[in-house]
Amino acid sequence: MGASAGGFKAFSAIVAALPPGLSLPLLLVQHLHQDDNGAFALHLAAASKLPLIEPCDKAEIKPGNVYIAPAGYHLLVEQGGTIALSTEEKVNWSRPSIDVLFESAARLWGERVMAIIMTGASSDGTVGIQSIKASGGLTIAQRPDTAEYPFMPQAAIDSGAVDEVLTIEEIIARISSLRLTDND
Domain 2-177 is classified in which CATH homologous superfamily? Answer: Methylesterase CheB, C-terminal domain (3.40.50.180)
From the list 104, 124, 131, 135, the catalytic residue is 124
124 is catalytic: yes
From the list 4, 94, 123, 131, the catalytic residue is 4
Which residues make Cβ contacts (< 8 Å) with residue 177, sequence separation at least 6?
A: none
Instruction: Give 119-158 pLDDT, tens digit per residue.
Output: 999 999 999 999 999 999 999 999 999 999 999 999 999 9
Instruction: Give 7-46 pLDDT, tens digit per residue.
Output: 999 999 999 999 888 889 999 999 988 888 888 999 999 9
Instruction: Name the residue ranges covered by the structural domains of the chain.
Output: 2-177
Taking the model in full, what pTM does it have?
0.93
The DSSP line for 65-127 is -EEEPPTT-EEEEETTTEEEEE-PPPBTTBSS-HHHHHHHHHHHHGGG-EEEE-S-SS-TTHH
123 is catalytic: no
* pLDDT above 50 (res 182): no
176 is catalytic: no
- The 3-state DSSP class for residue 158 equals helix
